[in-house]
Structure 1
Amino acid sequence: MARFAFSLAERAVRRRWEKEFDDHEQQQRQSDKLDTDVALGAVTDSPGPHVPNPQKTRYSCRKCRTVLFGVADLEDPPHTQSQHSFRKKGASHNITSSLCQSHFLAQPLSWMGGCGDMEGKLHCPKCLYKVGHYSWTGAQCSCGTWVVPALMIPKSKVDEMKRAGGSWRLKD
């Protein structure tokens, strides 16, 4: 019975991802057409929704699976633990606390809305689930490094999706 339920759920998720991928391809074609129009002199009034590269790793909302950002949107180069890393007072320095538990984005994305305040929360545009926070004054990563500016999304709030063959798979 459990295998049957699992196979039904797997098929439903696969269909949804395929639909999202097809929708993304259609948006990409429209975006390419708009890019051509802009190159020919046409003017667009507003930017479209942020769509990460479909061939690379993407990150989606853990609750509703809406694609939020891609690997190309992460800070480049990623921060590294340096001599200026700080441990929280009273925290033991073990291997699990020194690993980064969050993704840091290089710049605000269109779905984030107004990031005009000094700091605030980031919510999924579809289900309004809190996926992270931003702070223009910076924030401390779990590895101890201070990252400025900080557009921080904890790994526990998003699912990493990798392209496997013709379909998307959650990374185990």
Structure 2
Amino acid sequence: MPALALPSFFDFLGCWQAPRLDLRLGILTSGLEAFGISCPPRPTSFKMAMNQIKGHNIYIGGIFSLKNKAALARADISHVLSVLHLNEAEKQETFEPYQHLSIGVDDVDDENLLEHFPAAIKFIQSGLDSGRGVLVHCAMGKSRSATICIAYLLHLQPAALTPQSALALVRESRPLCEPNDGFMQQLEVYHEMGCPDDVTDHPAYKRWLYRREVEDSVACGRAPELKSVRFEDEQPMRSQDATGPVIEYRCRKCRYKLATNAFVVPHEEEKKDTAKTSASAECGHLFLHPLTWMRPSLFPSEENTDADATYGAHPDDAPLSGRLTCPNPVCGSNVGKFAWQGLRCSCGGWVVPAIGITKARVDIAKQVNMSRGPRANPAIRLPPGMRAPEANDSAGRGNL
């Protein structure tokens, strides 16, 4: 019978301590050989291999690669980046000869590794700038460490690489690399925002955090808290967001401006095997980011009767789904609907969270361009008492 190849098995056990590994692997080998299965020779000292990413002095591996001092010396490793939880005793004993950075995260989909990308990239670059090698490791050298290496490659070439192509480059050196789905989504977000040096203040990162909080709330069967909802028209506008053509969406009944294309959330149509007419596949809704005028619909409260009180100040009775009404006090017509748990568009695409105005209930008005300066806000008209506070720039908001 041919020899049984167990590379993934050794990799999985690489995070165990050597004495324990020797005992378990010996028992397994004896058991397999009792059934006539020939096993490959066990690696000396069970040292897990580390692999060099092509074209870079960066090595990726599991925690057991740190036991191979000879390999570390040959690679001239001076910086070690650990992407897993370590105790203080391990840090002092194992990493004393190296410059060391530890990022304590678990290999689970809902772990926030994105916020650590800038610090990890800066650390890797400092090691490379010293002319020596950098080792990036997690427990198995498969998910967390691969995610960090991909983020570094994206930061180097944001225009030339995508998360998938960067993963392919890493797999050329280490085929077992496979970031979990949550980490791949975070790499997509990082790439979409342009791989910046600071992610925590970026609007795309804040929207990603907002979506995570919404998903957590919906999983518990409740609407998100008011304080966790990001109302896009209350956020500072970046100069690149204030240029280009503008499309306004107005209430068909009273012509009240509800939103502009700056606040539209794009979504993908569901892929169909059978062809459909364009009329049947056309989206019936325009899905939007939360906007200030939506607060009374998203967070209604019978207790909030004070005219000076903040809209939606008591979100205890906030519904998971409901209707959106025109904010014009003399209109109040139904213009759309929302569902924090998500809605399926008429095109077949699934949108979560879904806050949409119905196309049949709005008129579309196009303008030539946005030429109102970098502080211009392509927002909506807000009733008195609902407008976000402004800092001496009332003439430049562009939402009146």
Q: Which has the higher Rg, Structure 1 or Structure 2?
A: 2
Which structure 1 residue ranges, 5 or more long, are not aligned?
A: 1-49, 166-172
What does the per-residue CA deviation read over 1:49-94, in whole Å, with 9 as the maximum and x for residues that have no partner?
x59x79611111000011010100101xx112134x7x9xxxx943
CA RMSD of aligned residues (A): 2.9
Distance 2:363 2:281 in 1: 21
Where does residue 81 of structure 1 map in the other structure?
269
2:290 aligned to which of 96, 103, 108: 108
Identity of aligned residues (%): 39
- Residue-pair matches, total: 108
1:145 aligned to which of 344, 349, 354: 349
Q: 1:95 Cα deviation (Å)?
A: 2.7
Distance 2:325 2:356 in 1: 12
| TM-score (ref. length: structure 1) | 0.55
Where does residue 340 of structure 2 map in the other structure?
136
Q: Which structure carries more helix by proportion?
A: 2
Where does residue 125 of structure 1 map in the other structure?
327
Where does residue 7 of structure 1 map in the other structure?
none
Q: 1:143 Cα deviation (Å)?
A: 0.5
Which structure 2 residue ranges, 5 or more long, are not aligned?
A: 1-232, 235-241, 299-317, 370-400
Distance 2:262 2:367 in 1: 15
| TM-score (ref. length: structure 2) | 0.25
Poorly superposed stretches of 4+, deviation over 4 Å = none
1:70 aligned to which of 250, 254, 260: 260
Q: Which structure carries more strand by proportion?
A: 1
Q: Secondary structure at the match of 1:81?
A: coil
Kindly provide the amino acid, as one letter, of the partner of residue 361 in structure 2: K
Q: 1:102 Cα deviation (Å)?
A: 1.2
Where does residue 161 of structure 1 map in the other structure?
365
Distance 2:334 2:295 in 1: 14
1 or 2 for the larger relative contact order (CA 8 Å, sep ≥6)? Answer: 1
